[in-house]
Structure 1
Amino acid sequence: MNGLHQSFESDGCHEKVIMVIAGAFVIDPEERILLQQRSDTGEWGLPGDSWK
């Protein structure tokens, strides 16, 4: 699998999906890193998202 295509199995068939992924490191002058908290799990992580 390469970074642009992902195969997955659905009802016994394989389908290719193009994924667009974006992320960022945001650092302020005091060298703090911006994190976002997920609304579904409450976990913290770097800002970013993916789309099919």
Structure 2
Amino acid sequence: MKKLVKEIEITRIKLHDLISEKKYNLLDSEVIKLSQLLDKLLSEYEDLK
């Protein structure tokens, strides 16, 4: 679970940076993919609770 929490935090930071890099274009395919990954990780975390 500790590893998952770390992965969530790293992904969250990457997503934040990518959104800034893409000038807040939330429809960019890279932003969408990373956002989906973060959603998946968060769902996994919730399932473990």
TM (norm. structure 1) is 0.23
Which one has a bigger Cα radius of gyration?
Answer: 1
So what's the TM-score if we normalise by structure 2? 0.23
Q: Which has the larger share of strand?
A: 1
Of structures 1 and 2, the one scoring higher in RCO (CA 8 A, sep 6+) is: 2
Query: Is the helix fraction higher in 1 or 2?
Result: 2
